[in-house]
Amino acid sequence: MPRGEAVGIDVGILNFLATSSGKTYRNLRPFKTLQRKLRLLQKRVSRKVKKSNNRKKAQVKVSELHEKIANIRKDYYWKLAHELCDSAGMVFVENLNLQGLARGILGKHCWDAGWGQFFQILEQCCLKRGVFFLKVDARKTSQICPNCLTERGKKELSERVHSCGHCGYTTDRDVAAAQVVLIRGLAAVGHTVKMLSEGKAVALPVTKESPSL
């Protein structure tokens, strides 16, 4: 059942994740070093004579590191999922078309970022802890002002701040997108939301006057 405090989540390239309550999480740094090491080891494999013992040994090292990286990532996602569940009774995420994104402009970034795996883990975590989880429409989440709900047009990736020319609401761009996700999620479960100030939102029952997204 949808109840308790609600949190909307936006995922992106610069920030791995942003929440409607104003928290942002950067992409995992340690990966870069480990991934460089992985490429180095992979090169070493290709330099060894095929079917030789040395090649086998080098291959074992590659798969060990692969596993290590995958485990660190998984642990981090679980930790993040638990942290989000700690403070929420409802979690809303974007229903991303990951295949479409991978083919499109985001390309390889999309798979590197691991959003798909993270959403799976988050959903499992919510299920375990009795937190309501829902995917909502992902369209234009970064183009709508969460405060006045007017469409403000596309932002360049370099534009890090959402500043609404209509109502003056200003916040981090990813946080603004997460707040749009939150509003959509709450609307989907029959609530409307009133933004009080940065990160503070109260859910209200939907009325006739409620703007629809």
Given a contact cutoff of 8 angstroms between Cβ atoms, the answer to whether 90 and 3 are in contact is yes
Tokens 């916040």 identify what position?
171
Question: Does residue 169 belong to the site contacting Zn ion (CB under 5 A)?
Answer: yes
Those residues whose C-beta lies under 8 Å from the C-beta of residue 38, and which sit 6 or more positions away, are 62, 65, 66, 69
Near Zn ion by CB under 5 A: residue from 36, 39, 79, 166: 166
Question: Does residue 133 belong to the site contacting Zn ion (CB under 5 A)?
Answer: no
CA angle 19, 22, 25 (to 5 degrees): 60
CB of 180 to Zn ion, least distance (A): 11
Question: Does residue 98 belong to the site contacting Zn ion (CB under 5 A)?
Answer: no
Q: How far apart are CA 26 and CA 11, in angstroms?
A: 10
Q: Which is nearer to Zn ion, 12 or 146 (CB)?
A: 146
Q: How far apart are CA 126 and CA 84, in angstroms?
A: 9
CA distances from 181 to 9, 24, 144, 175 (A): 7, 15, 10, 10
CB of 148 to Zn ion, least distance (A): 3
Near Zn ion by CB under 5 A: residue from 88, 164, 176, 178: 164
Q: Which is nearer to Zn ion, 131 or 174 (CB)?
A: 174
Question: Does residue 148 belong to the site contacting Zn ion (CB under 5 A)?
Answer: yes
Question: Does residue 34 belong to the site contacting Zn ion (CB under 5 A)?
Answer: no
Near Zn ion by CB under 5 A: residue from 91, 126, 131, 145: 145
Q: In the complex, which residues of this chain contact Zn ion (CB under 5 A)?
A: 145, 147-148, 164, 166-167, 169
